Amino acid sequence: MRVIFLRQQSEILGQIYDKQVDSCYLIGKNALNCTLFQDLMFFFLPLLNDMKNIVVSLPLCLATMAAILGVSSQAQAGSLTTEATNSGTYLRTGSTTFTKVTGTNGSGYLTGRVVANQENRSYFVFTIDPDMSKANRTILSAVLTLANPNPQGADLSTGRTLSITNVTTAINTLTTGGTNTVNQGVFNDLGVTGTGNQVYGTTTVASTPVVSSVAVNLNQNNILTTIKNRAGAQLAFGSAITLNGTAVNQSIFSGTTASNSRQLTINFADAFLGTNGNQQFGNILIGQSNNKTVTLTNTGEVGSTLTGAIGPSSDPTILSSLSPGQTVNFSLASGASQDRTFIYTPTVRGSNQTTIGVLSNDIDTNILFTGRGVAPENEILQSNTNVGDVRIGTSKTATVQVQNIGDGNTSGQAEVISNLNGTSSLGGSSVNFQATSGSAGNFSLTDNQTRNFDIVYTPTTHGTESELLTLAFTNGSDDGTNQSQTKNFSITGTGVGPAFQSGSPPNSTLDFGQVDISKTKMLDLVVSNVTQDESSVESLTGLTILNAFFEGPDADLFSLLNFMPGVVIAKGNSLPLQVLFNAQSNGSKNAILRIVTDQGVAFQQVGDSFTYNLTATAVPEPSSLLGMGIFVTTGMLLKRKRHPFNKG
């Protein structure tokens, strides 16, 4: 018969009845209220009345309330009481030989003497519960209780010592050292291995007062280890009484196999592994670290010992602060804890995790450590660095677009270190490239923020030019490691445009010479677009003659034949112009021809103008001069005729 005591104040009380093994257990898991327990007892009461097992009474409701209210967080040790499955007596039949008593007389057990020189030694056989071998269980103590003492003889007043020994000697054989030797071994009827003749416990037995039972604490010579090792099997003990050397009968036990007369009580404590669970480092900025500590606690019963080892990390970014690559052993008494701290130092953006294995004599478990490395990270979304052909006098913008695709701000750290930071600068000798406002100097981008670095190209001459744009990131490298990084971009552009040319170069003089009054004279002026640029796009290389007009004191005497303002001269083409002078009055005439174009500016906008000096001399016609001479001569003759008396 076995009795299991309730072991944890915070355990559920239940009953399991197993008819096959004829045993009833009270077991514990979690708190159960008193009403439920009473209901269970009511249900099982008829069964209990028919059972031989003993259920030890406990203050169940008090234990349950303590569990509910959390009065005690430390479980109490358990206890198991089992009755002997066999017992008997060996009788000394010679000076060194004992014979097992069989038959009717062997149904009980007898220790001591009932007749002179006849020494009786008892043995007790117990079946050890298999659970005693549990790795997390510590055997705290064992007590052998023998009931119904029946002292015989008159020589017990001074007390006698009852000794419990192991049973290792072969049947019917005993070699000790004399009939009165204390602690003699008793018979290996079970064949249990071990060292013989060792004392496991002793107690003094007196004749007065007569007690109902004698309990022997078995605490010597590793009996507790032996009990654990024999779990699930049988274990035998032998008993002998210290004799005083007289012939007087000295029997202290004359017991039977009645219930409760031969009991072994084993007190034990179970260790339980408790942890603080999986650990999360959170989002850690690359370049920084965070610590998390796993705590192992023996949450088991008083007297238990939790032993085991906590393993290292297989992830190099998550390493223990001490003995990084080593397994650390632990041995914890009930309620004791041991910490192991792990440091997370991410090296690249992304998640990291490692499983820390914990081995123990209770259970094995894994503790998951997780963390995420975060950082700013630059990405070039677009890079329009070659603006191509740009008409002289106009502008075009090259753009490098950068985005912080990182997650550094999720670390909760200051923006000065969690933003994407750097400096933008231009390097080169050309003044035709200029950074717009905010495109040069320091920059700082938060997560997902985009920044355009705009470089404006305004050519002033024909041909290709380039400039170097440098983005020097102080963090947020594009490999996710949050390192510094420099990226260079060559900004290029080609200046194009028309090239004005005329048969008579600008600022030269167009001389009409002498022109008879009332006559006109025309001179040719050919204007050409002689650009050598590759582009033939009209808006880029087309030359527009926006207007042409005359300036000066005699501007009204000059004109252009068939000229239409706004005419466009394509690359390589020419426009013939006819400049006309109309002589109206005698004398020298002067004016300026001004041709307005879109050279040097946007297409068809007012740009360069070109001037030509115009000169002409208006003279009378020759016929007019002859007629005037005849008129003058005739007049003189007529005058002479009017003065006939004039003798001169």
Average pLDDT over residues 390-415: 97
pLDDT reported for residue 75: 58
Least confident interval from 152-161, 410-419, 447-456, 630-639: 630-639
Q: What is the pLDDT of residue 73?
A: 45
CB 16 within 8 A of CB 27: yes
Q: Three-state SS string across 299-340, please?
A: CCCCCCEEEEEECCCCCCCEEECCCCCCCEEEEEECCCEEEE
Q: Does position 417 have pLDDT exceeding 70, yes or no?
A: yes
Which percentage of the chain shows pLDDT scores above 90? 58
Point out the least confidently predicted range of 26-30, 187-191, 274-278, 553-557.
26-30
| Mean pLDDT value across residues 526-542 | 97
Q: Please state, in angstroms and rounded to a whole number, the distance separating the CA atoms of residues 205 and 161.
A: 6
What's phi and psi for 616, nearest 5 deg? -160, 155
Task: Tell me the C-alpha distance between 481 and 375, whole Å.
Answer: 7
Cα–Cα distance for residue pair 516/81, rounded to 1 Å: 153
What is the pLDDT confidence band of residue 173, given thresholds at 50, 70 and 90?
very low
pLDDT at 97 over 90: no
Q: For residue 605, is pLDDT > 70? A: yes
Can you say how many angstroms the Cα of residue 348 is from the centroid of all Cα atoms in its chain?
Answer: 10
**Per-residue confidence at 177, pLDDT binned at 50, 70, 90?**
very low
pLDDT tens profile 481-506: 999 999 999 999 999 999 999 999 99
Q: Among 273, 452, 464, which residue's Cα sits nearest to residue 386?
A: 464
Residue 271: name the closest of 545, 574, 8 by CA: 8
Residue 308: per-residue pLDDT: 97
Q: Which pLDDT value is given to residue 315? A: 94
How much is the pLDDT for 126?
87
CA–CA separation, 511 and 257 (whole Å): 156
Buried b (16+ CB within 10 A) or exposed e, 338-351: bebebbbbbeebee
Between 233 and 13, where is the model more confident?
233
More confident residue, 409 or 638: 409
Task: Indicate the pLDDT class of residue 237, thresholds 50, 70 and 90.
Answer: confident
pLDDT digits (tens, 9 = 90+) for 619-635: 998 765 545 454 444 44
pLDDT classification of 453: cutoffs 50, 70, 90: very high
Residue 563 has pLDDT above 70, yes or no: yes
Identify the CA nearest to 205 among candidates 255, 158, 238, 171: 158
pLDDT score recorded for residue 643: 43
Of residues 168 and 229, the one with the higher pLDDT is 229
Dist. CA 464–CA 495, nearest whole Å = 6
Beta strands (DSSP E) in 206-289 are 213-218, 234-241, 251-255, 262-270, 273-275, 279-285
| pLDDT at 576 exceeding the cut of 90 | yes
Distances in Å between the Cα of 461 and the Cα atoms of 308, 427, 432, 495 are: 82, 20, 10, 6
Helix, strand counts (H, E) of the chain: 6, 43
d(CA 239, CA 214): 12
pLDDT for residue 260: 80
pLDDT at position 487 is: 98
Show the tokens assigned to 181. 């030797």
Q: What is the dihedral of CA 129, 49, 26, 219, to 10 degrees?
A: -40
Q: Residues 118-129: what's their mean pLDDT?
A: 82
Q: What DSSP assignment string belongs to 483-510?
A: --EEEEEEEEEEEE---EEESSPTT-EE
pLDDT of residue 318 exceeding 70, the answer is: yes
Q: Is the pLDDT of residue 78 over 60?
A: yes
Model pLDDT, residue 13: 31
Distances (CA, A) of 440 to 385, 443, 453, 506: 16, 8, 8, 43
Asked if pLDDT for residue 155 goes beyond 90, the answer is: no
CA 155 to chain centre: 81
Residue 249 has pLDDT above 70, yes or no: no
Query: What is the pLDDT at residue 3?
Result: 37
Structure confidence at residue 100 as a pLDDT band (50, 70, 90): confident
How much is the mean pLDDT over the chain? 79
Q: Is 430 helix (H, G, I), strand (E, B) or coil?
A: coil
- The percent of residues in the chain predicted with pLDDT above 70, rounded, is 71
Q: Would you call the peptide bond into 59 cis, given omega within 30 degrees of 0 as the criterion?
A: no
Is residue 249 within 8 A of residue 113, CB to CB? The reply is: yes
Q: Containing H/E element for 36? A: helix 34-49
Segment among 199-203, 264-268, 297-301, 399-403 with least mean pLDDT = 199-203
347: three-class secondary structure by DSSP: coil
pLDDT score of 150: 58
DSSP class per residue in 129-161: PGGGG-TTEEEEEEEEEEE-EEEESS--TT-EE
Q: Residue 88's beta-bridge partner residues?
A: 123
pLDDT at 421: 98
Question: Which one, of 449, 440, 380, lies nearest residue 419 by Cα?
Answer: 449
Q: What mean pLDDT is predicted for residues 253-258?
A: 73
Cβ count within 10 A of residue 259: 13
Handedness of CA 479, 482, 483, 485 (dihedral sign): positive
Q: Which of 210-224, 273-287, 477-491, 523-537 has the lowest mean pLDDT?
A: 210-224
Residue 420 near residue 378, CB atoms below 8 Å: yes
Average pLDDT over residues 474-486: 98
More reliable by pLDDT, 231 or 58: 231
Q: Cα separation of 224 and 140, whole Å?
A: 7
Q: Give pLDDT, residue 200.
A: 74
Q: Is the pLDDT of residue 166 over 50?
A: yes
Q: What is the mean pLDDT of residues 256-281?
A: 91
